[in-house]
Structure 1
Amino acid sequence: MSFSALPKIGMGTFRLKGNDARDAVKSALSLGYRHIDTAQMYENEAEVGDGIVSSGIPRREVFLTTKIWHDKLHASDLINSLHDSLARLKTDHVDLALIHWPSPDDQVPMAEYLGALRDAQREGLAEHIGMSNFTCAQMDQARNILGDGALFTNQVEVHPFLSNRQVVEHARGLGIPVTGYMPLAVGKVMEDETLIRIGRDHNASPAQIAIAWVAARGVVPIPSSTRSSHQKANLDALNISLNAEEMAAIDALDRGERIANPGFAPHWD
């Protein structure tokens, strides 16, 4: 199966290790997820691969994403690291290979690492290619390097406390879909009164409301959970329809609260 678009929701695996990662991937696939997201930096690619294999779901039916860490952005390093990822993932290709972070302080020119990523795609190591944590200006630069339609997504942090509106709208203007990581703000959505109240009206949890809000904005959420009951609830959140008033109330929660903000991050929009 060749995926022409991102599945509507994915299973994130950040912070999942060992058997937790294996079991979470297998459980998610059994519940109906078909998009699994990992990264070299998560140090769980082998376990994610095990989970996919043991699920019994044919590899061609699973949309698999991994991300290349910023110490592997020189052209030869990038290709070699992707081969290593594929070996750990027990597959001959990923459906999507992302640059995890733009090169800190542009130590490696963007044209070099995006060119190498495109070469990896041409070699069949990745069906699609894209970026993560790129700013508006960096998306423009990436599009200028690779051309229209080459970049499958920009994966950025999106949750009710960080709507990341500028990046989401800029990506939309460039025709680049956005994947939203940490849609539950590492659990902080569970304590928010607005999300709790709206959840009550929908017989849903605050987490489900947060995911429904992300999805309603045209962003693909990739929540992470080890418990199958939570995984199922996250999947079911796609069936929740929020009205304009509810969307506006959640929009108003934006406080620019960025959780993933390492010292090498770009200058955010």
Structure 2
Amino acid sequence: METIQVQSESVPALGLGTWQLTGATCQETVQTALDMGYRHVDTAQAYGNERQVGTGIDAADVDREDVFLTTKLDGSNRSARRVRQSARESCHRLGTDYLDLLLIHWPNTPWMVPVSETIDAMNGLVDDGLVRNIGVSNFSPSRLDEARELSEAPIFTDQVQYHPYWDQTQLLDYCRIHDVLLTAYSPLARGGVLDDPAIVQIGNRYGKSPAQVALRWLVQQDGVAAIPKATGREHLEANLAVFDFELTDEEMERIRSPSKTKTGYHFVRSQLPF
């Protein structure tokens, strides 16, 4: 597993996303992934699966300190009191004494709780040793800049939607300048890359699937980690097999094809029951 150096921290470039994973499936997937070699697991209070993620980590043949574990504050847990209380509740559900990374899941609604209050409380958790790193999710460059200005502890990452159809060039440039990790969720555009002609053609050249090409496109970019969701052993293994080939500069440019239309279409299609 390749790693990325961010703020003196080594982070696995590929992690396991657990959005929409629940119950025994979630627990088994986390355990299988860790036993297979994953060392980066992402969850959130809003996912409702922290307990299952924690059980999966505990059941795996891996030491807790070898796992980079992330969770995110729910929208209702932004006040100073709820930040402190909910982070401890997350640790209890996850069966851990500390979190490697705690994120603000979505930007605060200013008229409810100012982001300064949330970040101050998160800094307190760092001081207490309950949280090793803090960050944000779904923040624009301007919001990320504000968060950095408000925080005593470095903002470690901005976790955002990033795939070949969704341009994050401006954010990535900002992150590289300020030593902030960009963590890509929905890296396969909710399945949209799987039948993309250009990506299929490039994959055929290397004997790789379109999903593997799209993941390689992400992790080959400096300062980018990806957290694809997968449930079956076959898909978990396939996602790991993206470090034994390298895309050319021309292929990297061909894969990058920003399109809000494609992004929206694949999001809507992924929500349909058929």
TM-score (norm 2): 0.90
* CA RMSD in angstroms, aligned pairs only: 1.6
Say whether 1:158 aligns with 2:162.
Answer: yes
Q: CA deviation at 1:124?
A: 1.3
- Inter-partner Cα distance in structure 1 for 2:161 and 2:40: 17
Residue type matched to 2:203 in 1? G
Q: CA deviation at 1:71?
A: 1.2
What secondary structure does 1:6 align onto? strand
Corresponding residue of 1:50: 55
Corresponding residue of 2:118: 113
Question: Structure 2: which 5+ residue stretches go unaligned?
Answer: 1-7, 269-274
Say whether 1:241 aligns with 2:240.
Answer: no
Corresponding residue of 2:138: 133
Residue type matched to 1:172 in 2? R
Corresponding residue of 2:45: 40
- Inter-partner Cα distance in structure 2 for 1:140 and 1:106: 20
Encode CA deviations 1:85-124: one digit per residue, 9 max, x unaligned.
1110011111111111110245311110001011111111
Q: Which runs of 4+ in 1 moved over 3 A?
A: 258-261
Corresponding residue of 1:20: 25
Say whether 1:96 aligns with 2:98.
Answer: no
Corresponding residue of 2:221: 217
Residue type matched to 1:38 in 2? T
Residue type matched to 2:35 in 1? S
Residue type matched to 1:86 in 2? C
What secondary structure does 1:70 align onto? coil
- Inter-partner Cα distance in structure 2 for 1:185 and 1:105: 30
Kept in 1: contact 2:189–2:267 (CA 8 A): no
Corresponding residue of 1:86: 91
Kept in 1: contact 2:190–2:267 (CA 8 A): no
Kept in 1: contact 2:45–2:74 (CA 8 A): yes
Q: CA deviation at 1:232?
A: 1.1
- Inter-partner Cα distance in structure 2 for 1:182 and 1:104: 24
Corresponding residue of 1:10: 15
Kept in 1: contact 2:218–2:225 (CA 8 A): yes
Say whether 1:169 aligns with 2:173.
Answer: yes
Kept in 2: contact 1:211–1:238 (CA 8 A): no
